[in-house]
Amino acid sequence: MFVLALDTATPASTAAIAQVTDDGLTGLAERRTVDARAHGELLAPQIEATLAEAGLRPRDLGAIVAGLGPGPFTGLRVGLVTAASLGQALGIPTYGVCSLDALGRAAGPGRVLVATDARRREVYFATYADGVRLGEPDVAKPADVPVDADRAVGEGAVQYSEVFGLPVDEALRYPPGAALVALAADRIRAKADSERLTPLYLRRPDAVASSARKHVLQ
């Protein structure tokens, strides 16, 4: 089965195609463009280009996997709305995966801190042992992150490497599409029901409606 993976939980807009079989998973194509303010403009062309690179059409897809975050409100919503809309239009299931988990899986064996940029001089983070997350994702100032790992990955880890004091794999900054698909592979093979793609924000959006009444001056 051909699967489309999407992630916009970081400044990167990522689209990838992988083939899931009973025996394993093969990555076929992946496109990524980094621009924190242009997810809405970049994601659709990335999807189109990735499908073309893999020699596929939308109707060839059997499932869609989307990164649920954590991530900033606006960018994250672009990916999830796109995934849900495509799934509904094509009549195929959608599955959600924590975006940090994709980085943790791609980091491989050992104890790894995954940190992505949460803006406001904060990071989203979680610690992984051999690709498995320990505890729930969280958001904090870099100096307040509990460091219990041998190395770190993610854009936040690169940005605050001096604070964390860990060796950083600078090549692994954004969630890889193949890792997203791998984390959902069992559900895909089982042809599990489509999932509601609920974003993992961890905090309120930057822009919120004011609840205070304003007095009008005559």
pLDDT digits (tens, 9 = 90+) for 163-184: 999 999 999 999 999 999 999 9
Asked if residue 201 lies in contact with residue 75, where contact means CB atoms within 8 angstroms, the answer is no
Return the closest-CA partner of residue 18 out of 63, 68, 81, 83.
63
pLDDT tier for residue 208 given thresholds of 50, 70 and 90: very low
Q: Is the pTM of this model over 0.85?
A: yes
For the chain, the domains span 2-98+175-189, 100-164
Q: What is the Rg, in whole angstroms, of the alpha carbon atoms belonging to the chain?
A: 18
Non-local CB neighbours of 78 within 8 Å, separated by 6+ positions: 8, 13, 39, 40, 43
What kind of architecture, by CATH, is found in domain 100-164? 2-Layer Sandwich (3.30)
On the question of pLDDT at 129 being above 50, the answer is: yes
The tens digit of pLDDT for each residue in 56-106 reads 999 999 999 999 999 998 899 999 999 999 999 999 999 999 999 999 999
Q: Which of 40, 31, 32, 11 is nearest to 159 (CA)?
A: 11
Same CATH topology for 2-98+175-189 and 100-164: the answer is yes
User: Which residue type does 96 have?
Assistant: G
Confidence band of 203 (pLDDT split at 50, 70, 90): confident
Contact 187, 71 (CB under 8 A): no
For the structural domain made of 2-98+175-189, what CATH number should be given? 3.30.420.40
